[in-house]
Structures are given as C-alpha cells and as structure tokens.
Amino acid sequence: AQGLATKKLGYPVYFFKETDTTNGRLRDIAAGGETEGAIAVAEQMTAGRGRRGRPWEAPAGSGIWMSILLRPNIFPSQASVLTLLAGLAVCQSIEEETGLTPSIKWPNDIMLNGKKLVGILTEMECEMQQTHFVIVGIGINVNTTEFPEGLMDVATSLYLESGRTFSRKNILQRVLLNFEKLYMELLDSHCSFAPFLDRYKEKCSTIHQEVKVLGKETFFAQAVDITPEGELVVIRKDNGKKEVVFSGEVSIRGG
C-alpha cells in the first residue's frame, strides 16, 4: 500500500506471486470477513476468467491483474453500475498516465485501436435483495509483448500500441484513486448512475456503432444511447424497434 493516495481502496493489499484468479482469491478473503477496500493483486494469474467462464490470459509480470472488494449498500440489480464506473476510472487513468486515448466498449471492455486492452469482471455475493459484497476484477495489458496465437487479433497492450513500457505501479495507484473518487460519488448519489452518464458517454465508443447483440436472442442493431441507468439503447435492424439492452445478459460484437 506504499505510495497510495486513497483513503479506502488498497487497504490491505493481498499480493500473490502466482494465483489462479484474483477474483476467486478475494472472494474467499471477503467471505472470511475482510473489510471494504481490500485488493488482491497477482504477478501471474494461471486461470483468469472473463464473463461466462471464458479464459482471460494473464502473462506473468506484463499486466495489472487485480481485484477490489467493495461492500456497497446496493441492490444486486444495481451492481453492474460498478462495472461501468470501473471502466470509466480505468479509461481516465490510462489517459492520464500514458497520454493514449482508449475507449469503453459497453459494458465491460476497454479498447485501443479496435483491440481489447482491458477486461473488467464484476462478481457478487448476494442473497435475495441483499448484496453481501462485490468484487471488481480488472485486467490491464500494460507491457505485454505478445499474446497466444488466437488472441493477437483481438487483444493488445499499452506497449504494443505505443512502443513504450509503463510503470504498472503508477497505473494501478491511479486506477485506485480514480475509482475511489467515482465510488464515493456513487454512494453519495444513492447509487444512481445518472451523475456519471455524460462522462461515461464521452468515453464510450459503442454509441453510434453497429452492434451484434448476443443475448437470449441474437440480432443486429444500431446503438444509439445509454440510459441514466447505464443500459444500452439500440435500434434493431430487422424490425426498426427500439430496445434497451441490459448488461450482464448480453455480449456486444462491434462497437
């Protein structure tokens, strides 16, 4: 926690030289009663996950593989707002630390030059209408020089896009600071996403793009807006109808 300017996030830090997933580790730690703000950071993750159990490649020493424990007084249905805010915080932090300008692919990815730079995976432990805790997992490809075969076309790193290497510590500290600010603001606004909408939209590349929505149903659509609740508004290509797409239940291709 040395050098942290945060009040809450990053206390304590659980550091792992190698672990399966930081989200999984922190979930166990949280279940044992650890307080809000604890983070788990790994030098290498051997079984990183994306949504729906998809694998997340986390080569040793090349990125920031981190999870943050939060205990917000929030309904489980509102927790996806934390994914959006984490995306905003990471996007701002990368811009501030590197001068590069990534964009957010709604709801949970950060892209640079059309490739995925950051993945965010929010998981929670809840019962009925009560959220016990939320784990926000963030994977940032910082100095990664190469990815496994199949990923070279879809994944990128700050190094691959700029030819420069960056301090993972500085970026991590900046992410915690920016995320903490947004999180405090969220709690002050009774967990409403509305105060963040303009800032989020400014960084979101999905709006105005053609997207393929993969949910209960698969269809092509034009993304047109984000609602004050953080959902994506699209106009379907097949019937011209407006639809609101909820994060969590869909994947977007394109955008």
Cβ atoms of residues 160 and 152 within 8 Å = no
Q: Cα separation of 22 and 65, whole Å?
A: 7
Q: Cα separation of 144 and 51, whole Å?
A: 22
Comparing CA positions, the residue from 176, 121, 171 lying closest to residue 141 is 171
Q: Cα separation of 77 and 67, whole Å?
A: 20
Does 102 bind ligand ATP (CB under 6 A)? Our answer is no
Give the residue at shortest CB distance from ligand ATP: 50
Does 143 bind ligand ATP (CB under 6 A)? Our answer is no
Minimum CB distance to ligand ATP smaller for 175 or for 177: 175
Rounded to a whole number of angstroms, the minimum distance from the CB of residue 201 to ligand ATP is 19
Rounded to a whole number of angstroms, the minimum distance from the CB of residue 108 to ligand ATP is 5
Does 57 bind ligand ATP (CB under 6 A)? Our answer is yes
Does 151 bind ligand ATP (CB under 6 A)? Our answer is yes
Does 212 bind ligand ATP (CB under 6 A)? Our answer is no
Does 137 bind ligand ATP (CB under 6 A)? Our answer is no
Does 50 bind ligand ATP (CB under 6 A)? Our answer is yes
Q: What is the dihedral of CA 81, 111, 175, 78, to 10 degrees?
A: 10
Rounded to a whole number of angstroms, the minimum distance from the CB of residue 181 to ligand ATP is 24
Residue count, binding to ligand ATP (CB under 6 A): 17
Minimum CB distance to ligand ATP smaller for 93 or for 156: 156
Comparing CA positions, the residue from 90, 99, 110, 72 lying closest to residue 189 is 72
**What CA–CA distances, in Å, run from 222 to 217, 238, 253?**
16, 11, 12
Q: Which helix (H) or strand (E) holds 85?
A: helix 80-98
Does 69 bind ligand ATP (CB under 6 A)? Our answer is no
Residues in contact with ligand ATP by the rule CB under 6 A: 50-51, 54, 56-57, 108-109, 116, 119, 121, 139, 141, 151, 154-155, 251-252
